[in-house]
Homo-oligomer: A and B are copies of this chain.
Amino acid sequence: MPAPAALLSYIDAQTDAFITRLAEAVAIPSISGDPAYRDRVHDMSNWLNAQLQAVGVTTKQVDLGTHVMDGQTLHLPPAILGRIGEDKSKKTVLIYGHFDVQPASKSDGWDTEPFVLTKEADGRLVGRGSSDDKGPVLGWVNVLQWHHETQTPLPVNIVFCFEGMEENGSEGLDDLVVKEKDGWFKDVDCVCISDNYWLNTRTPALTYGLRGLVYFKINVSGPTRDLHSGVFGRMVHEPMTDLISLMSRLVDSAGNILVPGVDDMVSVADNEERAIYEKLDYSIEDVESSVGAKIALSADKTQVLMGRMRSPSLSLHGIEGAFSGPGAKTVIPAKVAGKFSIRLVPPQTPDSVTPLVEAYLKSEFAKLGSKNSLHVELLHDGKPWVADYKHWNYNAAIKATEAIYSQKPDLTREGGSIPVTLTFAETLGVNVLLLPMGRGDDGAHSTNEKLDTSNFIKGTKLLGTYLYEVGEVKDS
């Protein structure tokens, strides 16, 4: 059943108001990965809770307890559980989203203040969290607003689960899902998550796979204080020398993972599997235009797509404790920590990969013959996930996409990680659909993150229409 025409025209008419609400959300710097911003994540939970209540959702904020980060014990931001509709004759859709964001500051290279939503002339809404994931979360609120104002019953029952720790390992959420399996989440028929991106800037997509993640911190320490390189250079083992050597042994410039056994876990794609990727609306120009430079690892589109969708990847993110400012400083840093992560694909799991990484780092460190100390930490992890894309949940989303965008969606696997996806799939035993709102060049986790106004508005219509298509499904 298509969505009511009145809903779709309401969404068009409310564009400015919806953007204003998104700006309010972006203005709260709810960075979950930095202890200094933890209170703002709590603020964001309260703000979203009030928005949901205002459109008729029954909510509860759930205290997830505390966790330790960078040596500090911190209160986790409360998750928000919501429910609207209790009609046993209707399907029940669980909607997940997150209200925390990645770190951002002007000094990282943003052209505008990251926490001020800036509407560009071409319709881009620039700001941290605009696309990941505050825009999509508010897309759902936009849909509910019309039903609430017009007192129109929804075509399905909806259960919400919004969290504030997604960018930092979704701490506390797995336990909550398990605990609420037969409580708040009882009778859920399917899950829909809008928290990823189209493959390109043209073609809407549904996503049926995600990579997992293991995020490591390699600590190397030696002296008890930073040293002057003039005074101590070539007298002592330097932690940076050891760390850089270890980090250089993890991945090569072609993207091959050098930790023995990690790449080998994944089968080579056969011709049938390659055909899936050949069909996707994508080119080398797409990736190179998206990153702004001709730096694709291969000239073969299929190879590059498989690199994201069905291969593990290892990225070196940075070093904590070394000199990172501008100018020159002749320091031998006393204690340095290298950060890197590996994206995982089936059949890899954090449990199968982590021991390989730890053993390799210890063995390579021993080869260095250094008197410094090594300590490897796993900061967070998540399993990879693949869903059945022939399920009615996907069919509903395909029909909704055709209704709003007049084209068939790409069926993709995504390179990123939303660890809770797998938790919902495994714990609730239902199909999970990823229904992205934003485009492939939105720059989530990057400088100048944006959501196009057309994606925000058509995306809102898509989410609403999807609910009506699920409402039409007869079998279950």
Which residue numbers of A lie inside 8 Å of B, CB to CB? 33-35, 69-70, 102-103, 108-109, 168-169, 197, 211, 213, 215, 217, 222-238, 240-242, 244-245, 247-249, 251-255, 287, 291-297, 304, 307-308, 311-320, 322-334, 339, 341, 343, 368-372, 379-380, 414-417, 440, 443-448
Contacts and interface: CB of A to CB of B under 8 A. Distances in A.
A178 B180 CA distance: 79
A322 B319 contact: yes
Contact of A234 (B232, B308, B368, B370): B308
Interface of A is mostly: loop
Contact of A253 (B249, B313, B368): B368
A295 B236 contact: yes
B415 A287 contact: no
Nearest to A338: B244
B252 A329 contact: no
Nearest to A249: B248
Chain B CB count within 10 A is highest, among A238, A287, A379, for: A238
B317 A33 contact: no
Contacts of A333: 317-318
Contacts of A368: 252-253
A144 to B, nearest CB: 29
A296 to B, nearest CB: 6
A240 B316 contact: yes
A244 B319 CA distance: 11
B327 A323 contact: no
Nearest to A448: B225
A332 B308 CA distance: 14
A210 to B, nearest CB: 8
Given A234-B311, A308-B234, A225 B447 contact: yes
A429 to B, nearest CB: 26
Contacts of A320: 324-326
Contacts of A217: 328
Contacts of A292: 223-225
B319 A33 contact: no
B248 A253 contact: no
A416 B234 CA distance: 12
Given A35-B327, A237-B254, 12 more contacts: A226-B446, A228-B416, A228-B443, A232-B287, A233-B314, A234-B343, A236-B297, A241-B315, A317-B328, A318-B329, A328-B341, A330-B341
Most chain-B Cβ atoms within 10 A of its Cβ — which of A293, A314, A333?
A293
Contacts of A416: 228, 230-231
